[in-house]
Amino acid sequence: MAGIKFIHTADLHLDTPFKGLSHWNTELASFLKNAVFDAFHNIIDRCLSEDVDFLLISGDIFDSDSGSLAAQLKFTSELKRLSEKNIPVYFICGNHDPLNAWLPSIQLPGNTYRFGAHEVQQILHEKEGKPVVSLHGISYPDKVVTENLTSQYILSGPMAPLSIALLHGTLGNPGPHEQYAPFKIEEITSKGFDYWALGHIHQNNVIREEDPAIVYPGNPQGRDFGETGVKGCYLVELQENNRPNISFIPTQLVRFEELSIDLSGEVAVDRLYDKIMEAVQSVGGHDDNMSYFLRITFTGRTALHQQLRVQGETEQLIKLFNEGQLGRKAFTWIDKIIVHTRPDTDFEKLARGNEFIADLRDSFVNLDQQTPVLEEKIQSLGEQFSSQAARKELPELSLQDYQEILQKAEGMLLDQLSGDE
């Protein structure tokens, strides 16, 4: 029974410049630039340790269509490590590294196959002298491809027990990404391929596990706060007439995270560092050997509210927390602290001494218990303070959303009335 094992990656974005960061912290920018290359190095290491049959790369190897000579040399040097072990590499070019941007002087190792851009090409991968999988792919000729490419993917010609399609494009809502080579899931599910190796979207996602498997590996190293969470690639085992085995492999060196930390009841400023580290350790897939790049929002009612709101206070906290971090093997770097705390006011006590505030609190309680009335009032305000075009784009609010709006409004109003804010 035919079977193969391979690693699927995409969107390496080698040579990302981090221009904005370079202006104020060259050391951190250099670390992140190297981390992008190191994540790819980790992928090659895993190919070797797993003794895979081949490596798939579904586009955007470089960050720019004017990729530097040094970046292309680093890329080919990593591929040579696989060539020395007779592990092939199959890749397509995407919008960031279109075929017309590759330097003709760069010679790819003999174990590497780059798909062309004129039509979907087919390559047969053999194992023990027999074809085991047919690979189909097409590269972008230049950086803008807006047509749907899926109609070109047809199983034909020399056949093999297994089949894989490599495609760089947009399935569904592109989010922050450009709408390149858009397609729908129903356009690829009936084409007979066993595995769709996708690229372009930077969030890892097994969209469909079998018949066929449809997978975005995401990028192997996050580069900003639009790319939070665990990053890596997929190790895939395909076997004829069996369900694919798809395993995620983390590859990043530094992880971007936005954390919300509740300081309710907190009175000690020296507890802030501990609260931050507790929040970092609670994120899914936490790794003590990983570096973390953080944006933090403080919330909750706390006695520290007034102190945190002093101008320049959070900047001093950040400077204190970050001191000496870059010298560590695994660092925690705070990029920004946002203060959304409220004063630690005892509203129950306040209401007992003020009839107006007591009546006001009762009104909020009554609204919270009358969902239709609450929805009507908030919708009415939305119509008054937002344009018709904006209202069309806003998502429908859930009951929890309405209750959170009410809770925040009550707190803001009572803070004003109590003189705490």
pLDDT tens figures, 158-181: 789 999 999 999 997 766 778 899
Q: Which segment of 87-91, 133-137, 287-291, 411-415 scores lowest on mean pLDDT?
A: 411-415
| Structural tokens at position 98 | 């279109």
- For residue 415, with 0-12 CB atoms within 10 Å meaning exposed, 13-18 middle and 19 or more buried, which class applies? middle
pLDDT at 16: 87
Measured distance CA(379)–CA(220) in Å, rounded? 42
Domain that holds residue 118: 3-250
Q: DSSP state, 101?
A: G
> Can you state the angle between helices 399-418 and 355-369, rounded to 10 degrees?
180
CB 406 within 8 A of CB 368: yes
Are 212 and 333 contained in the same domain? no
Kind of pairing, strands 112-114 and 89-92?
Answer: parallel
Are 338 and 358 contained in the same domain? no
* Residue 146 is assigned to a structural domain of this protein: yes
- Residue 222 pLDDT exceeds 80: yes
User: pLDDT category, 355, cuts 50, 70, 90?
Assistant: low
Are 334 and 372 contained in the same domain? no
Tally of domains within the chain = 3
For residue 113, the domain's CATH number is 3.60.21.10
Phi then psi for residue 351, to 5 deg, are -65, -35
Kind of pairing, strands 54-58 and 3-9?
Answer: parallel
Kindly state the average pLDDT of the residues 66-80: 86
Mean pLDDT over all residues of the chain? 87
pLDDT tens figures, 191-214: 999 999 999 999 999 999 999 999
- Residue 390 pLDDT exceeds 60: no
Enter the pTM of the model. 0.83
* Residue 348 is assigned to a structural domain of this protein: no
Which of 250, 280, 311 marks a domain boundary? 250
| Structural tokens at position 239 | 């076997």
* Residue 338 is assigned to a structural domain of this protein: yes
Which of 201, 230, 250 marks a domain boundary? 250
Find all residues with CB under 8 Å of 18, minimum gap 6, and list them.
29, 32, 33, 223
Kindly state the average pLDDT of the residues 20-44: 88
Kindly state the average pLDDT of the residues 69-89: 93
Number of Cβ within a 10 Å radius of residue 330: 13
Are 300 and 410 contained in the same domain? no
Residue 208 CA from chain centroid, whole number: 19
Which of 300, 324, 343 marks a domain boundary? 343
* Residue 123 is assigned to a structural domain of this protein: yes
User: pLDDT category, 47, cuts 50, 70, 90?
Assistant: very high
- For residue 32, with 0-12 CB atoms within 10 Å meaning exposed, 13-18 middle and 19 or more buried, which class applies? buried
- Residue 94 pLDDT exceeds 90: yes
Are 278 and 310 contained in the same domain? yes
